[in-house]
């Protein structure tokens, strides 16, 4: 059945932290929406307008809602509650816009939302005001979120948010089946009401490329073994673990190996630079700064080994860089975690005991000294990641929405 024959109307509500794709959240949102726009005709996208300047989202025919910058008040009193209030205002403006459309004869069948406070309000009121179903792409239990309010009295509010957002939506979408199992085991949501929709990679940017050409364009010596980490931010990624592991490499290997960091905010780079100086390895560690996605792809292609020292979350861990790393056809080193195993499979990456400098050093040593092993693991990783394109993610997202609407009609 074609989209022209199936008039299901989807409203995708997002709150990207950057309209210029300056965060993983924004990249995932934009890339998903770009493919969703090509596959589903009856789609409305609502996001906040954070700047008057042109940005990539403009090309997606989005509906902008002016951002009410309540979160800026955290400069006066540091608290996540200001951002809760900001997103609350946004959610109610969205409800008002969709209610007006409903009164004018344009009904929304399903609202897909991936921001927790928006999900909190929409899952309670959209069914009442709009007769719309809500699908919530949940990335964590709010009570475990590093950015949750730290005020003691706010703990009951956070508990309330989790209770509503995990139970009220018609369906939940999880990045990993590991998290779905956790929700089921804790009695928060039955497994049959949670769909799995992993993250993805942009196949037009991240794909196998010639290493020699990439190194030539980036002025990287051909003869060195290149170990690389690439990410927009370094926070909570345990990059100090990678620096320490590199410092513990045998001197003969370290002399012919270079460690590259691509991305990072100035204060994060400064902290790692100090660590490198203290360990006496600063001459062999390169900080390339924040780069555009195409240039990041070149750094990945130029590399021999791509490392993920740790992840921000546990059961919901699905870092974009894992997909992008694997898609370039280079060997990936990552911690042993069930959530990552869902993507890498049994042998699509080289794993090490999470948090262990010794284990990471041993894995780096084994890969540096054995190019054929690197090639074998990289090939299996490339095969494992192949289905995880944004085109496929958009197709599956539409199918999830259809399921939600079907449940509504059968109710």
Q: Tell me: pLDDT of 304 over 60.
A: yes
Per-residue pLDDT tens for 251-291?
999 999 999 999 988 999 999 999 999 999 999 999 999 99
pLDDT at 409: 42
CA distance 224 to 102: 62
Q: Determine contact, residues 166/183, Cβ cutoff 8 Å.
A: yes
Q: Tell me: pLDDT of 315 over 90.
A: no
3-state secondary structure 138-176: ECCCHHHCCCCCCCHHHHHHHHHHHHHHHHCCCEEEECC
Q: In the predicted model, what is the mean pLDDT of residues 174-193?
A: 95
pLDDT at 314: 83
Per-residue pLDDT tens for 15-40?
988 888 888 888 999 999 999 999 99
The CA angle 250-254-256, to the nearest 5 degrees, is: 130
Sort 54 into a burial class: Cβ within 10 Å, 0-12 / 13-18 / 19+: exposed
**What percentage of the chain has pLDDT greater than the value 70?**
98
Per-residue pLDDT tens for 361-409?
999 999 999 999 999 999 999 999 999 999 999 999 999 999 999 974 4
Q: Tell me: pLDDT of 1 over 90.
A: no
Q: Tell me: pLDDT of 164 over 60.
A: yes
Per-residue pLDDT tens for 41-69?
999 999 999 878 899 999 999 999 999 98
Per-residue pLDDT tens for 167-183?
999 999 999 999 999 99
Strands (E), 125-278: 133-138, 171-174, 194-196, 225-231, 257-263
Domains of the chain: 10-200+390-410 (3.40.50.2000), 211-385 (3.40.50.2000)
Sort 335 into a burial class: Cβ within 10 Å, 0-12 / 13-18 / 19+: buried
Q: Tell me: pLDDT of 3 over 50.
A: no
Chain mean pLDDT for the chain: 92
pLDDT at 150: 86
Is the pTM above the cut of 0.85?
Answer: yes
Q: Return the biggest CA–CA distance within the chain.
A: 73
pLDDT at 2: 42
Q: Tell me: pLDDT of 193 over 70.
A: yes
The CA angle 179-20-142, to the nearest 5 degrees, is: 25
pLDDT at 18: 84
Q: Tell me: pLDDT of 234 over 90.
A: no
């Amino acid at each position: 059945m074609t989209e022209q024959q199936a008039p299901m109307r989807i409203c995708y509500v997002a709150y990207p932290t950057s309209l210029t794709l300056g965060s993983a959240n924004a990249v995932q949102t934009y890339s998903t929406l770009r493919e969703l726009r090509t596959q589903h005709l009856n789609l409305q996208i609502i996001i906040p307008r954070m700047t008057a300047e042109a940005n990539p989202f403009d090309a997606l025919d989005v509906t902008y809602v002016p951002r009410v910058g309540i979160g800026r008040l955290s400069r006066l009193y540091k608290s996540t509650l200001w951002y809760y209030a900001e997103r609350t205002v946004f959610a109610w403006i969205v409800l008002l816009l969709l209610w007006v459309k409903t009164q004018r004869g344009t009904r929304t069948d399903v609202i897909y939302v991936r921001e927790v406070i928006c999900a909190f309000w929409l899952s309670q009121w959209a069914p009442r005001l709009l007769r719309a179903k809500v699908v919530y792409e949940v990335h964590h239990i709010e009570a475990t979120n590093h950015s949750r309010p730290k005020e003691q009295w706010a703990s009951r509010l956070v508990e309330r948010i989790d209770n509503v957002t995990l139970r009220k939506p018609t369906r939940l979408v999880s990045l990993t089946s590991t998290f779905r199992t956790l929700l089921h085991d804790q009695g928060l949501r039955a497994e049959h009401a949670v769909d799995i929709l992993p993250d993805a990679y942009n196949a037009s940017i991240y794909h196998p490329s010639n290493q020699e050409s990439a190194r030539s364009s980036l002025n990287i010596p051909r003869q060195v073994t290149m170990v690389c980490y690439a990410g927009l931010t370094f926070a909570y990624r345990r990059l100090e673990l990678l620096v320490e592991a590199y410092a513990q490499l045998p001197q003969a290997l370290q002399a012919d190996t270079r460690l590259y960091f691509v991305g990072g905010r100035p204060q994060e780079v400064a902290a790692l630079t100090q660590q490198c100086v203290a360990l006496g390895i600063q001459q062999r560690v390169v900080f390339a700064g924040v780069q555009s996605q195409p240039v990041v792809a070149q750094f990945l292609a130029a590399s021999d080994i791509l490392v993920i020292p740790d992840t921000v979350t546990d059961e919901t861990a699905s870092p974009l860089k894992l997909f992008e790393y694997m898609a370039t056809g280079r060997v990936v080193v990552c911690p042993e975690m069930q959530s990552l195993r869902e993507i890498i499979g049994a042998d699509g990456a080289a794993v090490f005991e999470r948090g262990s400098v010794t284990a990471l050093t041993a894995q780096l040593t084994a890969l540096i000294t054995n190019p054929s092993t690197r090639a074998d693991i990289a090939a299996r990783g490339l095969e494992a990641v192949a289905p995880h394109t944004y085109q496929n993610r958009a197709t599956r997202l539409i199918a999830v929405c259809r399921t939600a609407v079907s449940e509504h009609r059968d109710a």
